[in-house]
Structure 1
Amino acid sequence: MYLPTFPSPKTRINHKIITRSLAFCSDSSPFQPQQQQQQQGPKEQEESITNRSYWTKRIHGLCIVDRNVDEALRLLDHLRLRGYRPDSLNLSSIIHALCDSNRFSEAHHRFVLSIASGYAPDERTCNVLIARLLDSRSPDSTLHVVHRLMLAKPEFVPSLVNYNRMIDQLCSFSRPIEAHRLFFDMKSRGHCPNTVSYTTLINGYCKIGEVGIAQKVLDEMSECGVRPNSLTYSI
């Protein structure tokens, strides 16, 4: 008589081997979906990198419509590996999306990388993006971007509004001396300080107790024909 043999209690059954064997023999192999994805490939791989209109809309849509800036960054990095050169519209979409997500540090970093790679947008776009970065209220980071822009594009001049905002942020951190240097830089680049410029600087000096310097700035304001407003006198 034939008697089936059973494993003794001491013999260990490797359940992993049995499970893997069944899975390998099954029609629904776990590797099949991955192979299908590789065969299909994303639409981005089929589109030529020379179709700038398509990529601009695609990146803008991911940033603004889908609010998926991470996917936009992955796509942009992939395109750059294929030889795509980002333009001002791509950079604007990325910077605005990062700022909307309160990822200001990354926005500053991306802007600096763009400048370092030899690409800086036109002056108007630069000023729009600087204004966006100033929403972070991190004057040192934004000033770093501005200085890098000036090195790459000596003809670049921040707008008067952006200068005033940077001066205000430095003064808000009790750093009016640095703000005053920025004030002189603004004048050397062709801007005429306005009431906001002087009032902000006066307030900054008063905040640290330097009333004498604040008075000198007020006197200079009058000599330059800039009329104080009610806020100036209320400081």
Structure 2
Amino acid sequence: MINGLCKKGKTEEANELLELMSQRGLQPNVVTFSTVINGFCKKGKMQEANGLLELMSQRGLEPNMVTFTTMINWLCEEGKTEEANGLLKLMSQRGLQPNVVTFNTMKSGLCNEGKMEGKVEEANGLLELMSQRGFQPNLVTFNPMISGFAKRGRLRKLMG
């Protein structure tokens, strides 16, 4: 039911149902929380999504890869790459290693951000970190970098 409400954009109602579950002694799991977090993110309500992330921790539930990658994606969509990078670090602190989707999401956000100064180095740093962790860069890895820098006439800087 919560998933259906979120798909229809009724995130507030889904959140109320989440609270009702708790009031009735039912413990929502990581998937349930992640679903509502994604719903809030889709609506640009990052503060509410962050609140649910904190509530999960208070209840002893650890966000999983999907939870973190979802939030990183939406933060990058909003151009908040510094906050997204903070979540990337939080993941590692909690013992979750970013996967190729997480890395590609973060790189895409960096490369599409309005101001490019310093972002080449950050994106290249992510590429290096991916390689260190055993992930093989692919077309999905490089396309956002090439596109983002080409749009701004900065392709030479990326290649140099």
TM value normalised by structure 1: 0.51
| Distance (Å, rounded) in 2 between the aligned partners of 1:130 and 1:109 | 15
Does 2:27 match 1:121? yes
| Alignment RMSD | 2.5
Q: Of residues 220, 226, 231 in structure 1, which corresponds to 2:135?
A: 226
User: 2: distance between equivalents of 1:144 and 1:190?
Assistant: 21
Q: Encode CA deviations 1:116-153: one digit per residue, 9 max, x unaligned.
A: x595625xx33234225414413512221121121232
Residue type at the aligned position of 2:49: T
Distance in 2 between the 1:100 and 1:193 partners? 26
1:26-45 matches, cutoff 5 A: none
In 2, Cα distance between equivalents of 1:149 and 1:132: 12
Larger mean CA deviation between 186-195 and 131-140 belongs to 131-140
Partner of 2:94: 189
Structure 2 unmatched runs, 5+: 146-160
Contact 2:7 2:39 in 1 (8 A): no
SS of the residue aligned with 1:142? helix
Whether the aligned pair in 1 keeps the contact of 2:76 and 2:84 (CA below 8 Å) is: yes
How many residues matched? 137
Contact 1:107–1:133 (CA under 8 A) maintained in structure 2: no
Alpha-carbon offset, residue 101 of structure 1: 4.3
Does structure 1 residue 171 correspond to structure 2 residue 76? yes
Who is 2:59 aligned against?
A: 152
1:173 Cα deviation after fit: 0.5
Letter matched to residue 131 of structure 1:
T
The sequence identity of aligned pairs, in percent, is 24
Match of 2:85 in 1: 180
What SS class does the counterpart of residue 185 from structure 1 fall into? helix
